[in-house]
A and B are shown apart, each in its own frame.
Chain A
Amino acid sequence: MNIFLFVKRVPDTESKIRIDHEKNRIIEEDLNFVLSPYDEYSVEEALRLREANGGKVVAFSVGQEESLVILRKCLAMGVDEAVLLKDDSPEAYDGLRIARIIVQSLKKKFTDYNLLLFGKQSVGADNSQVPSMVASLLDLPQVNVVTKLKIEGDRGTAYREIEGASEKVTFPLPAVLSAQKGLNEPRYETLKGIMMAKRKEIPVITTEDLGLNKEELSAQLEILKIESPSPRKAGKIIKEDPGEAARKLITFLRAEAKII
């Protein structure tokens, strides 16, 4: 079984986000970039499926050369091959252009897959768009926000998280899935893995190689403005005995929040 993974390089979740108001984008200098947290679950799941069923796992990332670092991390975790789909455009918060690059690479160059795996969203853009869009463009079944997965032969069963419940879905392969926290416990890279990952060649494929035209590559959304949220005003902080504090809180909940 061949599993293709799609991963993204993002600022880590502890990052303070600063904004370049002239260019309408976030300032990337001084940010610590990592493999998007939800992608770690998809990498782990792919490795477990390969361990159980054989086949190979290939990691792809759409992005600039800097994304090679997270592809090496995937290799160090145990992924067999990695491919950079080179795209130098700035972040447009538009899932469709990324989905089109991925789909074109799957149609033109990497046709031999049984499963396409993603994280349920990239941290930062927070779009949750690309997996469903790829499934849509390829007419494949999709299950997003997966917390439990079983593959048997050419069919799978997945549980996906919804509000206060789970949906159980069975589907034929090939299919598109996206991983949620809780699916598994991602492994760490091993020293041996890191050494091997350093030596592995990572092919770089450009959007020209894929034959995508300008229209297909243009974003469907336009960024008018990126700004910092207005900071919340600190309110009343009290330090009194628990009884008095609780009573004052109730007054607050009644008079201001009006929930009592």
Chain B
Amino acid sequence: MILVFLEVREEKIKKSSLEALSHAKRRAGEMSTEANAVLVGKDLNNFASEALRYGAAKVYILENPLLAQYSPSGFTLALISLIKEIGPEIIFFSATSMGKDLAPRVAAKLGVGLASDCISTASKGEKLEVGRPIFAGKALATLTFKSSPAIATLRPNVFPLIDSGETQGEVVKKTVNLSEEDVKDKVIEILKEEGTELDVTEADIVISGGRGMKGPENFGLLQELSSLFPHSAIGASRAAVDAGWIDHQHQVGQTGKTVSPNVYLAFGISGATQHLAGMGTSKFIVAVNKDSEAPIFKSADFGIVGDLFEVIPVLREELKKVLS
């Protein structure tokens, strides 16, 4: 059985968790087993039908009021008791900030290996093989597991969502026994960054600026483009972040975030190796740069040699026409 941890944020199952579940269902089919899902927290009944729709044969709901907020210690205890009981051969998490925090804590408790941030999986008989970028994508490693269960975190935006339309299935609800002492690292508050709807790692379209933006005031131009696309976010190169023009949350590259959007638009970014490593798996790359020799053009599917301050205003007006 493949067990998939589903993360709930702001009263919704994360899209990337459903991607992991969709993928698990496919893999489970090949391995003649089933995909099951697990939710951890408080008041989770409403989420079961969505889990069934995206491929779960069975949904486990682990509840305790002390798990209303995320706690790596508490969530681990809840998951371990279920894993010991049902004995999955494979466990998937989405490689979100929660998945990356929680999966290693669970793997260590079980004494098994974990493959982080995978972009592919394959079944070889009963064995799972996974592919994952190392050196932020400058190399790819294919790994397999020497211990069971095999645990992997899957990179968001890489695996397709598959809605089966099916909402029939078993829902198993369990109450987790916990005391305050078990959740001593729980989150007490979540502070939203103002104006940020979506993180760069989750966006379908990333609109990024680099040194060529010339100053913090010009990131407004990118913000205006972003407002025209519903699932977009603002990214930046290390040069722009180190210059203090934009917060490091937006940094894409080897010392920032690794993104795989549908479209990556790079404005005034030369394309240093360390930046290319962070966005090289984007489906389409568009680059606008004054310098026709900029390395980013070697990776771009569509490049414009030109002044971004001339291109963006026209682009914005033309986009408004076609999008309205």
Q: Which residues of A contact B (CB under 8 A)?
A: 11, 13-17, 19, 26, 37-38, 93-96, 99, 123-137, 139, 141-145, 159-172, 175, 180-182, 218-229, 232, 234-240, 242-243, 245-247, 249-250, 252-254, 256-257, 259-260
Q: Which residues from chain B contact A127 at a C-beta distance below 8 Å?
A: 104, 114, 116
- Residue B29 interfacial (CB < 8 Å): no
Given contact pairs A16-B273, A95-B104, A165-B190, A132 touches B306 in the complex (Cβ within 8 A): no
Task: Please count the residue pairs between chain A and chain B whose beta carbons lie under 8 angstroms apart in the complex.
Answer: 284
A224 touching B129 by the CB < 8 A rule? yes
A26 touching B318 by the CB < 8 A rule? no
Q: Which residues of B contact A (CB under 8 A)?
A: 9, 70, 72-73, 76, 96-98, 100-109, 111-117, 129, 132-147, 184-193, 196-199, 201-202, 204-205, 229, 247-249, 251, 253-256, 258, 262-263, 272-274, 280, 283-286, 292, 297-307, 310-311, 313-315, 318-319, 322-323
A126 touching B134 by the CB < 8 A rule? yes
Q: Which residues from chain A contact B144 at a C-beta distance below 8 Å?
A: 221-222, 224
Q: Which residues from chain B contact A136 at a C-beta distance below 8 Å?
A: 76, 104-106, 108-109
A242 touching B307 by the CB < 8 A rule? yes
Enumerate 23 A-B pairs (CB-CB under 8 Å) in ascending A order.
Answer: A13-B273, A96-B111, A125-B134, A132-B105, A134-B108, A136-B106, A162-B98, A164-B193, A166-B193, A167-B189, A168-B187, A169-B185, A172-B184, A182-B249, A221-B113, A221-B143, A223-B142, A225-B141, A225-B142, A227-B139, A232-B280, A235-B303, A245-B311
Q: Which residues from chain A contact B253 at a C-beta distance below 8 Å?
A: 13
B297 touching A234 by the CB < 8 A rule? yes
A96 touching B305 by the CB < 8 A rule? no
**When chains A and B are docked, how far (Å) is the Cα of A249 from the Cα of B98?**
37
B204 touching A250 by the CB < 8 A rule? no
Give chain A nearest CB distance to B306 CB in angstroms. Answer: 6
Q: Which residues from chain B contact A128 at a C-beta distance below 8 Å?
A: 100, 104, 116
Given contact pairs A96-B114, A123-B254, A238 touches B108 in the complex (Cβ within 8 A): no
A168 touching B190 by the CB < 8 A rule? yes
A237 touching B306 by the CB < 8 A rule? no
B76 touching A222 by the CB < 8 A rule? no
Q: Which residues from chain B contact A124 at a C-beta distance below 8 Å?
A: 134-135
Q: Specify which of B116, B136, B205 is in contact with A259 (CB 8 Å cutoff).
A: B205
**Chain B residue with minimal CB distance to A236?**
B302
B198 touching A164 by the CB < 8 A rule? yes
Give chain A nearest CB distance to B266 CB in angstroms. Answer: 12
Q: Report, nearest first, the 6 A-B pairs whose CB atoms are least far apart.
A: A220-B113, A163-B199, A141-B185, A235-B301, A133-B108, A132-B104
**Chain A residue with minimal CB distance to B114?**
A129
**Chain B residue with minimal CB distance to A235?**
B301
Give chain A nearest CB distance to B108 CB in angstroms. Answer: 4
A13 touching B254 by the CB < 8 A rule? yes
B196 touching A164 by the CB < 8 A rule? yes
Given contact pairs A133-B108, A246-B311, A226 touches B184 in the complex (Cβ within 8 A): no
Q: Which residues from chain B contact A19 at a C-beta distance below 8 Å?
A: 139
**When chains A and B are docked, how far (Å) is the Cα of A99 from the Cα of B144?**
19
Q: Which residues from chain A contact B313 at a C-beta distance below 8 Å?
A: 242
Q: Specify which of B116, B147, B286, B292 is in contact with A220 (CB 8 Å cutoff).
A: B147
**When chains A and B are docked, how far (Å) is the Cα of A110 from the Cα of B248?**
35
Q: Which residues from chain B contact A257 at a C-beta distance below 8 Å?
A: 262-263, 283-284
Q: Which residues from chain B contact A137 at a C-beta distance below 8 Å?
A: 108-109
**When chains A and B are docked, how far (Å) is the Cα of A167 from the Cα of B190?**
5
Q: Which residues from chain B contact A219 at a C-beta distance below 8 Å?
A: 113, 146
A96 touching B115 by the CB < 8 A rule? no
**Chain A residue with minimal CB distance to B229?**
A259
Q: Specify which of B147, B298, B301, B306 is in contact with A245 (CB 8 Å cutoff).
A: B306
